[in-house]
Amino acid sequence: MATEEKCPYSGRGVGRRGFLAGGVAAVGAALVPQPFAVAAARRGKLGVMLMNRIGPSTSTLYIADIDGKNERRLLQNSAFDRHASITADGKTIYFTTERAGDGNSSIYWASLNGSGQGVGVQPSITGSAVDDTGVPSPDGTKLAFMSTRSADHLAQIWVKNLKSEALTNLTGTAALKGGSNSPDGHFRPAWSPDSQWIAFSSDRNTAWTGHGNGTGWEHTQELSIYIIKADGTGFRQVATKPGYCLGSPSWSPDGTRIVYYQLTREDTWAAHRPEDIGQCESQICSVNVATGATTQLTSTANVLKVSPRYVNNTEVGYLIKGGPNEGIAYVNGTLPTVLRAGMRSPIWTPDGKSIIYDVPDADPVRTIDQTLYSWDSDWDYRFMDVFPVLSKQGRLAITQKQTGAAISSIVTMKPDGTDQVTVYNAASDGDPILEAEGLVGAFRPSWSPDGQWLAFGMGGWFQMRATMTAVVYRVKSDGTGLEALTDGSTNAGFPCFSPDGTKLLYRVWGAEDGLRILDLATRTTTALTDWPDNVPDWSDDNVILFTRKTSATSFDICTINPDGTGLKQLTVSGANHAHAVWNGTGRILYNSGDAGFREEAALYDDTFQPYGQIFSMNADGSDNTMLTDSQWEDSMPLYLTNAVLNG
């Protein structure tokens, strides 16, 4: 029996509390498709790439007094801003922003005026890579930051000379490269008081490990604390604990100690899941830089403590993430606690009078066709709900998972957004509470070649597979003729039609695993595989693409012929690869963690695979190309050419 694993699209509905408060009638009314249009691509583009993103849609920086009072926006012209730092003289702030486009993280700076607000916003580090957590050196000559701008797209620690503007990659050298099957990321740089050293966290030379102590799909993260000189010399590890995550280092004012948070590797998964935050805990610790001796500074249980900083010579402040006491607390209790829901990444001003922090939010949900930053000069990138698929006749179908009623109904429309039809209303079948929470619904529509039918799976998904079955259905494109194609004895789903429309391919999970082919004329079913295989896609030239669990911790992209011959494994790393589809030109589009984490995992919110980016490759697995480079979870691409958009 396959191991139970979760996936990124659970828990994205209106939520149990919202459903109970609004009632069935309110959710039913929301089922009416909301109008939208996939606009034509900009002049000179080949078309639009639709894709899904899981991540905050807004983020605002705030400044408040040390007791949390007098909160106001830090920037007069605020945008999608987060992760602030401040110069030693308290006159300039640096921060991460997505002002250049949704998904493109850059570093900007602003001057603080007399009222403590940032004015005169200017770019500092820009480009198509993730540039994040810029921190000025105490002497004001350099800026340390994390960036994925190197050729391998891994998170590295860089330094910018603020006078010459020269950039240096400190950790991306051949001498410091981690193991080939390691996430190999570097995060959260922090300067020593003398501006000579940079501390940071890293998962270099650790193994990709799934949650559930290695049995699950989503990765956990094991971090250690390292230091390196600003010229790239002196690299060494200063604190580590096998099976634990040590993150967000910060130096003591005298430069002798580094403070950090510490939690188990397994709890780095729970730390970014809202249902688990109150069940995991971390502690604030410090290490003597010279001797390596560590000291645990806190002991409270079931409290997630992150983002520690020395506020003065004797006090360490930190963020309580989640729970009823979310906000700022102190190790020795010499300063007032601050309750502030949603607060993230707090810092203290040098005079100790104010705190600066960001408040990210996933509401409002991105709208369908919302413009995203594009990493491809030939295509515009736009947001779309999950499992988008285009019929050969040019009609679009989606699972309405994040938008609209967000209970996983099947909706079709013309690519311009007109003529919308709910061909299957998920509220008519299954548990409405679980549907609202995203654990039950109609997943992964597939068009028949003639455009007359849609197939999909309806039932329990993700962790609900352990106790619920799912049935493969087909329905006519006008919403009539609903027909069950499997008997409900197992969890069957993720169907796709054969090129000639005579067969249907789907996966089963439970007492039996693998891919099954149903002959629609004879209703006979043939077992194609008996491995934990998932999300198949059948190409026009008769090759089947799918994801296989190749080991206890690895998921890879494979192809096979419909007669069971010609099995090929196209990916091999432990980073996990999934949601693979043919793009219509013989290339494969898929989601992968090959570029590693882009942030400390415990600092994310409401996400599942924050390291997941979109890639493409040839049918033989060659020519892997990264199509997104964001700090968020990107997946499920669909290309719409101008010919399709213009009808």
pLDDT digits (tens, 9 = 90+) for 323-374: 999 999 999 999 999 999 999 999 999 999 999 999 999 989 999 899 999 9
pLDDT at 430 exceeding the cut of 70: no
Summary mean pLDDT of the chain: 91
Q: How far apart are CA 38 and CA 23, in angstroms?
A: 31
- The rounded distance, in Å, linking the Cα atoms of 385 and 442 is 13
Q: Determine the pLDDT at residue 299.
A: 97
Q: Give the model's pLDDT for residue 17.
A: 24
Residue 3: is its pLDDT beyond 60?
no
Whether pLDDT at 47 is above 60: yes
Instruction: Quickly tell me which residue has 């109008």 as its tokens.
Output: 35
Residue 330 near residue 319, CB atoms below 8 Å: no
Residue pLDDT, tens place only, 291-302? 999 999 999 999
The two tokens of residue 615 are 């890639």
Residue 31 binned pLDDT confidence (cut-offs 50, 70, 90)? very low
Token readout for 88 is 């030693």
Q: 76 in a domain, yes or no?
A: no
pLDDT of residue 36: 57
Is the pLDDT at 172 greater than 60? The verdict is yes
Read off the CATH number of the domain in which 590 is found.
2.120.10.30
- Number of domains forming the structure of the chain: 1
Structure tokens at 66: 């040390």
State residue 501 phi and psi, 5-degree precision.
80, 5
pLDDT, tens digit (0-9, with 9 covering 90-100), for 272-284: 988 788 789 999 9
Tell me the DSSP string of 155-190: -EEEEEETTT--EEESS-SGGG---TTS---EEEEE
Q: Give the containing element (helix H, strand E) for 480.
A: none
Instruction: State residue 418's pLDDT score.
Output: 80
For 358-417, the pLDDT digits (tens) are 999 998 999 989 999 999 999 999 999 999 999 999 999 999 998 888 889 999 988 877
Residue 601: inside a domain: yes
Query: Does residue 165 carry a pLDDT above 60?
Result: yes
Kindly state the tokens that stand for 581: 């589809």
Radius of gyration of the chain (CA): 25
| Nearest alpha-carbon partner for 435 in 110, 118, 30 | 30
Tokens of 505: 């391919």
Q: Is residue 139 part of a domain?
A: no
Q: What is the pLDDT of residues 499-518, one digit of tens each?
A: 999 999 999 998 899 999 99
634 lies in a domain?
yes
Confidence of residue 6 (pLDDT cuts 50, 70, 90): very low
Mean pLDDT of 119-123: 95
| H/E element, 103 | none
CA distance 103 to 117: 25
Q: Where are the beta strands (DSSP E) in 175-290?
A: 186-191, 197-202, 209-210, 219-220, 224-229, 236-239, 244-251, 257-264, 283-288
Residue 133 lies inside a defined structural domain of this protein: no
CA distances from 473 to 82, 460, 494, 541 (A): 45, 14, 10, 25
Quick count: other Cβ atoms within 10 Å of Cβ 150? 14
**Cα–Cα distance measured from residue 638 to residue 333, given in angstroms and rounded to the nearest whole number:** 53
Q: Taking residues 454-478, what's their average pLDDT?
A: 92
Mean pLDDT for 143-150 is: 98
Structure tokens at 642: 């101008």
Please state the rounded mean pLDDT for residues 204-229: 92
Instruction: Give the CA distances from residue 324 to residues 277, 284, 328, 341, in Å, rounded to whole numbers and listed in that order.
Output: 11, 19, 12, 8
Q: What is the amino acid identity at position 459?
A: G
Residue-range definition of the domain harbouring residue 382: 47-53+364-646
Residue 11: per-residue pLDDT: 36
Which pLDDT band, with edges at 50, 70 and 90, does 158 fall under? very high
**Would the pLDDT of 27 be above 50?**
no
Express the helix, strand and coil content of the chain in percent, nearest 5 each: 5, 40, 50
User: What pLDDT is stored for residue 284 in this prediction?
Assistant: 98
Distance set, CA 201 to CA 206, 227, 261, 367 (Å):
12, 9, 11, 35
The pLDDT score that the predictor gives to residue 40 is 81
Q: Say if 438 falls within a structural domain.
A: yes
Residue 264, domain member (yes or no): no
Distance of CA 297 to the CA centre of its chain: 31
Name the pTM for this structure.
Answer: 0.93
Min mean pLDDT across 92-101, 112-121, 164-173, 344-353 is at 112-121
Question: What average pLDDT score do residues 530-549 get?
Answer: 96
Read off the pLDDT of each residue in 151-166 and give the average, rounded to a whole number: 97
pLDDT at 283: 98
* Structural tokens at position 491: 């969890």
How many CA atoms within 13 Å lie on the side-chain side of 386?
Answer: 25
Q: What is the mean pLDDT of residues 611-632?
A: 97
Q: Is residue 489 part of a domain?
A: yes
**Which residues lie below 8 Å from residue 398, measured CB to CB, with a gap of 6+?**
384, 385, 386, 387, 388, 389, 410, 411, 412, 445
Which stretches of 300-452 are assigned E, i.e. beta strand?
Answer: 305-310, 316-320, 327-330, 338-339, 344-348, 354-361, 371-372, 379-383, 386-390, 396-400, 409-413, 421-424, 440-447
